[in-house]
Structure formats: structure tokens, C-alpha cells
Structure 1
Amino acid sequence: MPRLPAACTQLLGVRQPILGRWAACAAAAVVGLSAASCTEGDGAATATDATGGGGTSGGDTVAVDGATTGGSDVGAGGDSVTTVDTTAAEATGDAGGATDAGETPDQTSGATDGSTTNPDTAGDTTVKPDGGGSGDAVIAPDGTTSGGDNFKELLVKVLGPSGKDWIQSMGGNSQLSGVAYGAPEEISWSASNGKSGKITPTEKWKTSVIQLDKGDNHFTITAKKGNQVVTDTVHLTYNPVFAFEGAPDMSPNVLFVNENAKVVVHFSATAAIANGQDKPIIDASTIQLVEVDEQGKPIAGGYTANLKDSGQGGNCDDVSKDAVYSECANINAKEAKTKYFRVKAKVDVGEVYEAWSPVTVVDVVQRFDKPTCNAIVSLQGKVKGDYVTAVTGGADWKKAQADAIAALKADSSVADAGPANGNGYGVWIRYKTGQLGALNLAPADMRSSAGAVGPGAALPTFSVGTRRALALAPFQSEFSKLGGDEAEKLGNDLKAKQCPPYAVDAANNSQAFLRWYREMSSYGMVAISGHGEVLFGDMGADVYKSLGWEHQGAQEVVWSGEPVNCSALSGSTATCNQAGNGCPTGESCVKTSLQGGVCVDSTQADIMRGRAIIGDQTYGFVPAFLRHHHVQQFPQSIVYLGACRTMYNGSLATQLWGSGAAAVVGFSDYVASEYAAAQGGKFLDGLANGLSVNQALPTSTDDPKYGGRMRHIGIDEANLKNEALINPSWDSGNLTGWKPVGDGRVVSRLGVTIPVAGKYMGIISTGLGFTAQNGSLTQPFCIDKAQNEMCFFWKFYSEEFIEWCGSQFMDSFTATLKSDTASVKMVDVYIDSLCPYDCGEKSPCEPGSPTCKCGKDWKTLSPSDVNFDQGGVHMTPWQKTCVDVGALGLSGSGKKVDLTFFATDKGDSIFDTVILIDEVTIK
């Protein structure tokens, strides 16, 4: 084909990493359907997916993103099956319900104030077996409970089979499990089909086995204590013997009223591609995006679009036959609201029916105009100034707080205001224009009163799922004078470690933007020092519902370092360039074409939806912020919340736990900065030195000044010790453990080519989707002294073959191992080295002759069944490369090694190259 100028090439659709895997294959085998549908091959390597995300029976459930035991999802992909415990309940006469026997989710520990009863099982032998705690309640890993109530307010949260709002089930029976804090007197469940039941009111609860209706089942868990009533709702979709790989991905997911927006839609559906002679389970022609309401029901006249796996940029699809179905949705919303979307498709699992995916949320908001913002900032500044003047002049703080609330309520812009919960110092404000504000009024030495902002795959040992760490110290300049900043110190300590090697992102003071908190689920260790408060506990039920908050009570609030800056609020949507640069501070680039994309102002959406709080100096966030932004599961992370009252009622911690965090540590009430720095510093030092959460918890005593103490929930054995290669062959279904640059992602297949082993493989390219010229995947790790050989498989596709052999267009692929003292290129190939010896009949020569321009690494080339945007793709067979790492002096060196797979485009970016990588092993 002729080489076309870049201006003539089609635009390709950006795609997020494929986050799921067809789970119906194994289910089909269980019920006696064709087992051949589980086998895929391309002639070079075959694999049989005998597990396909987990076998199922009539009593199994499948989490949207894959559930571990205990209900927390692991990684945003690879649906897994949670088996129902059919011995949990004792029947009652409650309209089909039952009374629960009180079992607990497996392998999790409940709320603990600085202590546990079980010795750690992660392999350490030189520490105290009880973790050093002396707290007032204990939940051991086996779920046993002792001690009294820990939390000061009622809260209930569903954690199993998933902590997500929308869950899938392939079986007709299910169980729900979770936690209830605040010593509830009653817990019950009710379903949309009229059935209900009672649950034994324990801190860790589980329902009886519940029979599902086909389609959507909506469940409400209700906890009561006196006149307190709290609920949590979960939606469970029963698609018999089938589960989608997840919800549709829609980017950007923030839209503004009366503004045109191009939204890129991708949906992974491996089961829509036939395997050999078998008929695919999903009828690809029926895959359709549908706008629905909050309950998942189609909206009359709502948006719909057919999704296609065409490889055409016109419908935002980057590659044909990769089982990702796409569309460019053009949306102009006329009112501020939350929009809901899901995918429907016809499936054939012996029974033909219409199946529905989980739901994706898109925000539509009014822009937050600068005059309104300035008025709010001015009001809050004046009221706080009056409070400080009064207290400094000797007034009682409670009277000064009451005067501040009265002044706020007297302002015409304020709908309501009130004090912090539990005799707390702070004040909250709800404005008539929809925004939420707060004043930090606690004493200056406390981790509640924000001071001035300074300048700007899980192992049996329960190690975190990625060695990426995030250290946020938004008030470092203040804390450095009050005992130090433990989050900053942990970041520095982890950066200095060779083994295990941590890649640390850190932000101090005003650089601790909200965007870092939105990205926490990309990290295995998150350490946050800062200020916190408990607010908004006195708002009406209708207000909580309008805000979409899951917990209808007081909200734990954490303050970021991002200053409230009204002048930074965007009045229109900015654009970013091909490299993803050009967005204003605080906004992020979403690529919508090869040439560039749009800048998304998530902060405005968070403010207008009540997820971000306008403070008197910086922005804060409530649990709904975590619920909205952490669609991607935490990779069994450890999260430290080093601020006041971050474990007051569990509203923050349960959101993190339900989103995949392995353990969450915080403080039960107000604490002095010196106390928090000392207690938090000991805990984080222990983690950095190889201890588990249980072992690292310091002996817990109440803060002698303010009474708070350290508290944790989650898995006691969680730790940071793993130094081996994480997720080496991407069989988690995502990029956990790896850092992508450019186009680096995970796929389950590319046309007829499937992984050499397992269910997934890595892919890098020089320009698929909206990437320009490079793609790479990198991970630092350490090589054990007993390990001597590293091997992996790779397969090279390119549009440069064969026509452009012998030309200046030299796309290349390298695989490199690099330490401080050694570096080796395990693979170093390029177009000409993989072309035939005669460069495609351009330069005749004797095969193997040193005069041959091409063919140095030639095996064979064959036409691919997959076309990119220009067509004419050829591919190599799968090739295996091994290297002796022992001979390179890398084994047992105690030094980190960086493994990098890298593809780049030399000459131009018109014709694309793709490299598949799989079965990375080291032994």
C-alpha cells in the first residue's frame, strides 16, 4: 500500500487497559455446555481457560471487578467467584428471609484499636506476638470478636461479595456480608422483590442464602440503634451462567450543562469472539450502550449506541478483533444530574436471553462560577476571623462556635449550618447553590485545625499488590514544627530502599492536590498526614439522598493541601495536545483523538456533587469522593490516614476497605500532632522495615491531651515485604505492579492470538489508540539469589512489514534488565532485523550473509488476521527469550533491577507496530 501523509490517517480511539475477562466459559463447562468454547489458539501457542474467572454453581456470585473472600474486589478486572456459605443462617418466617448466624467474611479483621489477639503469620519471628496493642476491642483474622464497641456512631456497609454498588451473579443464590459499627441493636435486609430477613446484629454480619430473581436485584441493609437508622444499598444482577467483564468505560466522565462533549466509550466483551468452530456466547451485533436510571432501568428517549469492534477511528475503536467494542458518544446534557449507562447484549448459554452489565456513572454539573466562589470564600474567611478574635479574647470556644453558626445561618446564601459531631470544634455549611463548606476551628496543635499551607497479585504473605507508594503531606510545613511529618518520612524511607524497591510519588503542602487523592487506588502503600474532622451529621435524610452519599450520617472529612482558588475554576473546557500536556493545574487530560483531547475539571464536579468541601483555606473530601473516584480497585493496599477523627465512625475506612484496601489505619478522635507523629511514625517505620500491619502497630494508649487513639480495620498480616516481580504475566487482568508510559495495557486476545499461558497478556505499541510513538511497561524488583534465569514470550506485529523492509522506517522493540551496576538488552529487534533476508525482494542476498541488510532475527512472517488503521499487518510467531541473570551478577545482589519492555517508532507514526508479551518467569 502507498505510505499516506499523517494528515490522511484515521483517528483511533483511546482505550483504557482491558480490565476484565470473560467468566462464562468455566460456568458453561459446569452446566454441561461446550467445553471447546474455553480453548483458543493461533497455531503457535494454545491455552485452555479451564477457570475463566472461576467456576460457578447455583449458589455462587461474581463481583463486578472480581471479589476476594470477604467481599473486597481485587484489581479492576478478572471476575472471580465467591462461594456462598449455605450453613450460615437459621430460617425464620420473615417473607422468605432468615436470621443470620453471625459468621464473618474470611481473611479480614475488623476494627481494632491498636492491638490484635493473633500472632502474625507473615513470617516474622522477632516481634511481640500480640502486635503490642492494648486497645479496647479485637477482631482477629478468623473473625472472632472481643471487647466493647469502638465507634461512636452507627454505620453499616456491604463488603461482600463486593464493596461496589453493582455486582454480578452467575448463580441464582447469593449472600451479602459486611460490617456494622456503633453497636447496632437490629440489622435486616430487604429486596426489591419484596423478600426480607433479619441478621444477627454483630460487627461483622452475613445474610442467609438469598434466592435471586433473573435480572437486577436491589438490596437494602438496615441497621438500627434506638432512634438511629442507617442503610446501605447494593444492586446485584443475576445473568444465568454468564458474567460480563465489567461496566462500560466512558471518558471523560464529567460533563457540563449545555456544552457539547465527545465521550469515548469502550466495553470489553471477549465472549463475543468465536473460538474455533464454536459459536460465540455474546451476539456482537446486539452489544448496545443504554442510558438507564439509578435502578438500572432504560430511560425512555435516553441515549443509546451500538458498540463495534471495527478498528475504525470514526467510532473510537483502536484495533479490530481485540474484543473491545467502542463508540464515540456525542452528548449535550440540558440539566445537572447524574447519568447512568450500562451495556446490554443477547447471550446464548444454552438459554438465549438479554444480559445486562454493571452501571457506569457520568456527572453532568453546572459550572461553579467565580463570583459565587469568591462570595463563599469571603463569608467563610470573615466568620472564621471573628471566631479567632473571640477565642483569642478569652471567649469560650463553644459560644464562639455557636456565634459562628448563627452568623452563617443569617447569610442569605446559606441553606443550613451546624457543628462538628461529637462535641467537635468544626463547623459545616450547606449553600443554597449546592456547594458544601467547612471551617476548621480546632486548637492549632491538633490534627484537625488546618494551618497555613506551605509552598508549593496478592501473595500468601498478604503483601500489597504493587510497589508504588504515595506519600501526601499537605501540612508538612506545619507538622515539621510539631513532632515531624510521618508521611513525608515514609516516602523518603521507601525511596531509599533497594529491596523491596518502591516507586514513590510524594507531594507536600500546596502541591498535595486533590488529583493525588483521586489516584490513590494506583498505589500499594498510601500514607497521608493531615487534618481531619467529622461533619454534616445533622442534615436531613432528603439532603443525604440528594447528595448521593452512601452513609446517611456524619461524614469523616480529610483536608488536602490544594488551596481554594476561585480564579482557577474553568469557565470552558480547555484542550490538551498529542502528548497529553497543556491542561491547567488541577485538571487532567483525556485523549479523544490522536491529535489531543480535553481537560477535565474534576474539582468542579466534586464541589457541585458534594464530594469536595470548600474549606477556609484548602479543599477537603468526604467518603463519597472515594466511592466515586476509585472505580479501579485498590491492589490490597495499606492506607494510613494520619489525621484527627479518620476512624470516628468508619465512613472513610469502610469505603477504602470495600474498594480493595487490605488495611486502613487512622485515629478515633482528636489527637495532638506530636502524638500522631509519634504513633504514626512508629507504625510506618515498622512497615518500611518489613513488619506486618499487626506487628507494626505501636502499643496504643489514648492521646493524653485530646483522648484519641490509633485504630485499624482490615487484614492484620498486610505488609510491604514482597520484592519479587508482581503480576509478571498480567493474569490479574490489569497493570497492577507495572508502570505504563504511552500505550501499555493488558488484553485477553488479539484476533485469534491468545496468551501463551493464563488468561491475559501485556501489549505495547507505537501508536494504537490515541498514543503517538512510544509504549512501555516497567517494573522494578529484586532477584533472589536462587533465581538464575529469566524468560518471556513475545510476538511482533507491524504495518511496516513487508513493504517497508529496508527503508528508514524502523519501528523497534527492546526488553531491558538494568541495575545500578549492570544492564542487558534481552531483546533488541527492529523491522529490518525481522524482515526476510532479501528485505522483501528489495535486496537479494545469501541468507545469513553479513552483507544482508535484513533478516538478522528473522524467523518467519505471516499475514495477521488483525488490521490496524492502515491495514496490511504481518506478524512473527511467538518467540521465547531467556537470559542468565546469575551470570550478569543480578541474582541476590540486594539491588533493585528495572525490567522494561519498550516499543518505539522511528521515521514516522503513520504505520503502527504492536508487541504482545506473556509468560514472564524467573527461576
Structure 2
Amino acid sequence: MKFQIRIFSLLLIFSFILYSGCNEDPVSPINPSGTSIGTIESNPNVLEVNNSVDVTFRFIKSAGIDLIDSLLPLFKVDASGNLTTQIGILKDNGNLSNGDEISGDGVFSGIINLTETSHGESRFAVQANYNNQGTSTLGVSQFYTIQVFSALNNSLITEITTTLSQAENTFINALGGNVSNYKTAMTQTISFLQSQPNISNVSGSDASTSIEAKFTSGLYGCISFSLANANGTVITRGGFPSDSAFQRRPKGPRISPENQTRGVNTFGAQHNAFENIDNPNLDPDIIGNRNVLIFAPYEAAFAPYNEREKIKSNLSDGQCQGFEFTELVNQDATVKSCLEMTKYGMIVFATHGSQGRWIYSAEIVDTNSSDYNDIYKPLITAGRLAIAEDVVISNSGGVQQKATVYAMHSSFFANLPGSFPNSVILNNSCESTMNADLSNAFTGKGAKTYYGYDKVVNSDFCVTIADTVSKRFARGLTTGEVYYNATDPSSPFAQFQISGDNQMKFSLSLMNGNFEVGTLEGWSKSGDGRVISQLGFVNPAQNSYMGIISTGLGFTVSSGSISQCFRVLNDQSTISLKWNFLSEEFLEYIGSQFQDYFEIRLITEGGQSIVLFRKTIDQIAADFQATEKNPGNLIYVSPGISFDQGDVYMTNWQNFSADISAYRGQVITVVFSAGDVGDSIFDTAILLDEITVQ
């Protein structure tokens, strides 16, 4: 792990947000004619006019392309597809000062200061020479587009919050201290907003307790009203239940302003069928991985009706022990935390929702924050984020709590980077299937199955659904078998709904053991685990790709592991693979307390952990007759391969196999881990390839 991470981590904390064009439908990048030598990404990739920003560009070399050049020029591209001005150089040198994490991995990086002077599109391309059957040929990358938006004046944010505050006062005055007047209050509030000259469109009705307003500036504002009981607890996840339903709910603790319940709307839109977008490299019926994201910004508000622990327990107690969980809870569930969402095979939202178009974070709007200035402003201008007033009404008709937070539009999710790996989405928020916008956004990015509710939903029903769904997934059922026709027993009686593919399930066969999909499809990841096409001069053991786990290379701070569970068939008896151990701890720290290691272990259905293989620095040194002063049979690979602190030696590709016939008929999980003992300064990486079960 590198000490420079503190200096440069902010440059990469942003996730890539794919350009969508002037509308909010995802658009494929325009590509040059001829052979593409690779693709480009940037961090960030939405910008404001006349705002000077350091942008981290990355060029990812295509598999099978043998580059001759080591310094790759990055060009602007004009409207006719011509490369014009060179704006910088990208390097594959492992130097964090130019944004590069690993030397020689086929990813070239550069940090380039950009100031775009007009709104619209800015396009970029890399040009480099490559070996084309012995002939040096000049190639060009796919064109990459950054959307540039007009500058956002903070006065427009003030205009939104002021108008929404006036709407809130209109609602409270119309209630007149009697919450049963909420329909009249909503009608008057909507009429007030419709009469404002700075608002072009208002979505809402007297059956609803949330409103969406589009301002003449093109920006969005949302306001939601939720009802609390005498004890200060919001029982539903938004909305005004009937008196009988409200009275029979149990009471709970008072909720802080930053942890309010989710917003609601009771529009009578029809539940629609949704289009599915295929991921051509993935098995069409298999959920891409067992990485699970639980997004729960209002967990404190929903207590005791929270689903997170039940989901974790149910999935972990099933046949497969290979689930990895990322939990974004309360104030950790920010907008920024959603920007890498496409790497998860299963996502659960436990938050506010509105109209099938909006998902709330609990992140308080702060126009002085770096995230607002560096990330959120162009997203607000693009209509992908709204300024939302989240208001809790006491049972006496006054404002109990309120907060100004960000709400994420369906277009925010439609323009996330990459594709979802055949993911399953459980949207435990109100009105999440009221219309098709959110479902279309996710399925348009590669998700296959989407679950939600047609209207306001109560928290305890959400917990029941999540409990049942996770138990059924843990049993290996398909998405259609997981679904069941259920209706919330309490007002307003939301219906649980499914859209998309009914045949998706988690795999119980070892898949992508050679990593030739080019991603970690099938593998759950913790810490630093990735797929690469090369590491310096070291190529995969076969074909185009290999896996890599490490003790924390580049900006990654934690040791890595990848895992996968599978059923051992009656004719299978052996697991085998190839591995290559590279470390900076050779030779200097042979015989010391600093002992990085590589471990392979199995986890049974019952949770028993069996170590199949474990080698430390000293044990590998002994196997290769290496000492502190003599490399023996270890291979010196620097400067062609360098991590951070010292020279690197490697074992080269080694074979491993183990007998697993004792587990025939059982589901087991295999875990490959890189470990750090003694310090986290000198890095170790293990390459993996040709993992098979026969």
C-alpha cells in the first residue's frame, strides 16, 4: 500500500458517471473506424463550464493489443471525428502522482487539468502504435465523451429551498392542526407551487404526500411529508395511513432530523412491463456475483423495522458461504457512495422513494462541501439529483422534524458507469414500481430483475418481504420463485411487484475460473481483487486475462480476496489452478516478522473452514532456495514490475491441485486470499488463472 494515497485518494474517490447526451437516455460512445486499441474512462466525467478541474483519465488496453509505445498521447476529438489538440500523456508506471495504480497492468493513467469553455460534448481519444503481425501500426482508442454543463449558481439552490419552504408552510397552514386534512393541504400546496413563476411543472395529487417540482431553471425540487405518532415515531416508510392502521402500530423512539422516514406518493400510475438489456459476456440466467450492497440511509429512523441484519443472516446461513456485503448505513449512505453501484450482483434499497422516479439519500445538502462543488453540481444541473425537503409532521399537525437532502433520479442510475452484472434489485422504498422509470433505469444498465411496491409501503412489511426474499435466494431459487403475490396488510395496502426476468438465480457451478469474461463475473470480492490482461511482461497463464489479489496496490488500502461457491458433482474430485506470487518483501524481509502470505481455503455448508494451501514469504523462499542475500530460483522482475517501496521478485506460474472428492454432493466455497503480517508497507500480489474443478 502506498503512503501517497492520502494525497491522491480524493482524485479517485469519485466513480465514473457515463455520459448520456443532452437527454437522459444512455448513449453508446461514438467510435472511430478501424481497430480500437482500447477504451477510456475519466474521473469525473461530467464537468461545469469554466470550472478548472483535475481529471484523472485512464486508458484500458484491449486484450490482444501489443502496444509499442509506453507514453500514450491523449487528444481532443472534433465533431468530425478528427484528433486535434494533444492535452496530455498517459503512463502505465504505477505512479500515483499521475493517477496510475499498478505498473505494467495495461492501464495507462494521467491527471490532466481541464477547463471547458462551452457546454455540450467534449470528446477524447488515445493514439498509439501497436504491433500488427510484425508491423508497427498507428491505432486509436474508442472515442470517449464528457458532458459539460452550464455553471450552477448557488442562488438557484437557494431559490429551490426557499420555494419548498413556502410550500411546506402552505401545507402546515392548510392542515390547521388536524392531520386528517392532509388531502386538502396537498391540494393547496400543489396549487401554490403551480402558481409560482419559477416553476414549469408540478407532479402530485391530493392522494399523495410527496411532490416533484421542475423549476424554470431546469433543476428539480422534491418535498415529502410523513406522519409521526404521539411518541415521535414514523411507523410507515412515509405517508399518512388510515386512523385505524395508525393507532394499532407500536410506538418507538424519537427520530433525529437527519434520520427521517422515506418520502411517499400515491399516484395511480399503472405498473408496466420493462425491457431487459442483455450482457453478452454473462450467462443470461445467472446473477453475476454474490457481492451484496445494502443502502440504508434511514436505518435509525426505521428502527426497529430494519431488514439489513436479516438479509445478511439469511444469505450467510444458506448453502453458499460466498456472499460479501457492503453496508451503507445512515450518514454513510451518500450520493457519492452510489457511484460504484454497478459492481454488485444484488442491491437492496431501504430508503425514501417517490413516484417510481426518485430514491432518497440522507445526505444533507451543503453547498460548501467539496462533494457538492466537485461532484454534485453538474449532476443537479443534469437533472440527475434533486434538492429534497424531507418533512415529518407531528400528530398535532406541526413540523416535528425536517431536513434538506439529495434525491437521486432514475436518470442518475441510468447513467452510472459500466453495466450491472445481471443484478437483482430489491427497492424497499415507497412507490418504487408506481411507474417504469426506476425499473427501466436499472434494467437498461444490465440488471435483470427488479422488485418494488406500487404505493406507500409500511416498514414492517418491507422487512417481511426482505426476510422472505433473502431466505429464498439462499435456497437457490430463481427470481420468479423468490417472488410471491403479497399485499401490505396495513393502509394503504401496497402490493409487492416484480418486473424483468423470472429465471435469474445465483450459480452453484464454478464459473469464469479463467477470467476470460474480462471481469470478476461469478466471483465475490473483498479488498483488492481485479482482472487484468498483463502485469508488466507477465502474461496470463493462458488466453487473455488473469485474476490478481494483493495486500493493497495503488489506491486500494485493504488486502484482497476473491471467493466463489459451487456444488461438487459426483464425478468431480480435484480443484486445480495456476498461481504466481510477486512481492516486495523478497529478499530483504526473508527471516523477519514481515510475512505476507497466499492462502486457499474451503468453507463448507456448515461454516467449517479448511485451509488447502498457505505459503508465507519464508516458506516460499525455502521452496525456491532463496535467502536474504540470494534469490535462489526466484525471478527478479523490477523495474519492469514495481509496486511501491522495493524491488519485486516472483515465483513465476506454479501449479496447485487438491482432492475435494470428500465434498461430493455438497456446496462449498473456495476463497483465495492475499494476507499481510507485520506491516502494510511492502506490497505483495498473487496472480491467478486456470481455476478448474474436475
Residue type of the partner of 1:634?
A: F
CA distance in 2, matches of 1:297, 1:676: 50
CA distance in 2, matches of 1:660, 1:602: 24
Secondary structure class of the residue paired with 2:450: strand
Partner of 1:661: 447
Q: In 2 relative to 1, CA 419–320 (structure 1 residues): closer, same or farther, beyond 3 Å?
A: closer
Is the aligned partner of 1:436 residue 2:259?
Answer: no
Cα deviations by residue, 1:878-903 (Å, 9 ceiling, x for unpaired): 1112233457xx66666x64613215
Partner of 2:407: 620
Partner of 2:202: 418
Residue type of the partner of 2:542?
A: A
Is the aligned partner of 1:828 residue 2:615?
Answer: yes
Partner of 2:690: 919
Within 5 Å, give how 1:8-47 maps onto structure 2: none
Cα deviations by residue, 1:439-472 (Å, 9 ceiling, x for unpaired): 2258888766499966769886823111122334
Secondary structure class of the residue paired with 1:757: coil
Deviation at 1:640, TM superposition (A): 1.9
Q: In 2 relative to 1, CA 15–861 (structure 1 residues): closer, same or farther, beyond 3 Å?
A: farther
Q: In 2 relative to 1, CA 660–609 (structure 1 residues): closer, same or farther, beyond 3 Å?
A: same
Partner of 1:325: 108
CA distance in 1, matches of 2:626, 2:317: 51
Partner of 1:839: 627
Cα deviations by residue, 1:341-362 (Å, 9 ceiling, x for unpaired): 4435567879977644142536
- State, as a whole percentage, how many aligned pairs show the same letter: 23
Deviation at 1:801, TM superposition (A): 5.1
CA distance in 1, matches of 2:573, 2:478: 29
Deviation at 1:795, TM superposition (A): 1.6
Deviation at 1:718, TM superposition (A): 0.8
Deviation at 1:838, TM superposition (A): 6.7
Partner of 2:146: 361
8 Å CA contact 2:69, 2:130 repeated in 1:
no
Q: In 2 relative to 1, CA 421–410 (structure 1 residues): closer, same or farther, beyond 3 Å?
A: closer
Which of 45, 60, 63 is residue 268 of structure 1 equivalent to?
Answer: 60
Which of 253, 276, 288 is residue 465 of structure 1 equivalent to?
Answer: 288
Cα deviations by residue, 1:259-298 (Å, 9 ceiling, x for unpaired): 6543332211246854xxxxx6xx64794423457x7856
CA distance in 1, matches of 2:602, 2:525: 17
Is the aligned partner of 1:784 residue 2:571?
Answer: no
Q: In 2 relative to 1, CA 764–526 (structure 1 residues): closer, same or farther, beyond 3 Å?
A: closer
Q: Please identify, of 615-624 and 358-367, the stretch whose mean Cα deviation from structure 2 is larger.
A: 358-367
CA distance in 1, matches of 2:8, 2:537: 21
Partner of 1:493: 314
Partner of 2:244: none
Within 5 Å, give how 1:204-243 maps onto structure 2: 234-235=27-28, 237=30, 242-243=35-36
Q: Which runs of 5+ in 2 are unaligned?
A: 229-234, 242-253, 260-278, 391-404
Which of 514, 520, 526 is residue 335 of structure 2 equivalent to?
Answer: 514
CA distance in 2, matches of 1:885, 1:873: 34
Is the aligned partner of 1:884 residue 2:659?
Answer: yes
Which of 505, 521, 534 is residue 326 of structure 2 equivalent to?
Answer: 505
Q: In 2 relative to 1, CA 367–809 (structure 1 residues): closer, same or farther, beyond 3 Å?
A: farther
Residue type of the partner of 2:409?
A: V
Within 5 Å, give how 1:545-564 maps onto structure 2: 556-563=356-363
Q: In 2 relative to 1, CA 497–606 (structure 1 residues): closer, same or farther, beyond 3 Å?
A: farther
Q: In 2 relative to 1, CA 601–737 (structure 1 residues): closer, same or farther, beyond 3 Å?
A: farther
Residue type of the partner of 1:922?
A: V
Within 5 Å, give how 1:138-537 maps onto structure 2: 234-235=27-28, 237=30, 242-246=35-39, 248-253=40-45, 261-270=53-62, 274=66, 284=69, 287-292=72-77, 297=81, 304-310=87-93, 315-332=98-115, 339-345=122-128, 355-361=140-146, 376-377=160-161, 379-391=163-175, 393=178, 400-408=185-193, 414-420=198-204, 426-431=210-215, 435-441=219-225, 449=239, 462-474=285-297, 489-497=310-318, 499=320, 501-507=322-328, 512-534=333-355
Q: CA RMSD in A?
A: 5.0
8 Å CA contact 1:12, 1:768 repeated in 2:
no
Is the aligned partner of 1:899 residue 2:671?
Answer: yes
Within 5 Å, give how 1:564-579 maps onto structure 2: 565-566=364-365, 568-571=366-369, 573=370
Cα deviations by residue, 1:195-220 (Å, 9 ceiling, x for unpaired): xxxxxxxxxxxxxxxxxxxxxxx9x9
CA distance in 2, matches of 1:668, 1:795: 52
Partner of 2:273: none
Cα deviations by residue, 1:347-396 (Å, 9 ceiling, x for unpaired): 78799776441425366785775x87567445424422431442465897
Cα deviations by residue, 1:656-703 (Å, 9 ceiling, x for unpaired): 112111111233456666776666765555434432122233237899
Q: TM-score, normalised by structure 2?
A: 0.73
Partner of 2:269: none
Deviation at 1:637, TM superposition (A): 1.0
Q: Please identify, of 313-322 and 643-652, the stretch whose mean Cα deviation from structure 2 is larger.
A: 313-322
Q: In 2 relative to 1, CA 657–793 (structure 1 residues): closer, same or farther, beyond 3 Å?
A: same
Deviation at 1:826, TM superposition (A): 0.6
8 Å CA contact 1:765, 1:904 repeated in 2:
no
CA distance in 2, matches of 1:272, 1:394: 67
8 Å CA contact 2:600, 2:672 repeated in 1:
yes
Partner of 1:852: none
CA distance in 2, matches of 1:376, 1:292: 37
Q: TM-score, normalised by structure 1?
A: 0.57
Q: In 2 relative to 1, CA 605–891 (structure 1 residues): closer, same or farther, beyond 3 Å?
A: farther
Residue type of the partner of 1:778?
A: I
Residue type of the partner of 2:105?
A: D
8 Å CA contact 1:269, 1:323 repeated in 2:
yes
Partner of 1:548: none
Residue type of the partner of 1:262?
A: D
8 Å CA contact 1:289, 1:343 repeated in 2:
yes
Q: In 2 relative to 1, CA 244–694 (structure 1 residues): closer, same or farther, beyond 3 Å?
A: farther
Q: Which runs of 5+ in 1 are unaligned?
A: 1-5, 20-75, 77-163, 167-217, 221-229, 275-279, 535-555, 574-586, 588-598, 843-854
Is the aligned partner of 1:764 residue 2:549?
Answer: yes
CA distance in 1, matches of 2:179, 2:551: 67
Q: In 2 relative to 1, CA 353–240 (structure 1 residues): closer, same or farther, beyond 3 Å?
A: farther
Residue type of the partner of 2:691?
A: V
CA distance in 2, matches of 1:680, 1:396: 33
CA distance in 1, matches of 2:437, 2:443: 10
Is the aligned partner of 1:866 residue 2:640?
Answer: yes
Q: In 2 relative to 1, CA 679–882 (structure 1 residues): closer, same or farther, beyond 3 Å?
A: closer
8 Å CA contact 1:903, 1:915 repeated in 2:
no
Deviation at 1:761, TM superposition (A): 0.9
Query: What is the count of residue pairs matched by the alignment?
Result: 629
Q: In 2 relative to 1, CA 360–741 (structure 1 residues): closer, same or farther, beyond 3 Å?
A: farther
Partner of 1:728: 513
Q: In 2 relative to 1, CA 319–644 (structure 1 residues): closer, same or farther, beyond 3 Å?
A: closer
CA distance in 2, matches of 1:745, 1:374: 43
Is the aligned partner of 1:635 residue 2:406?
Answer: no
Q: In 2 relative to 1, CA 493–797 (structure 1 residues): closer, same or farther, beyond 3 Å?
A: closer
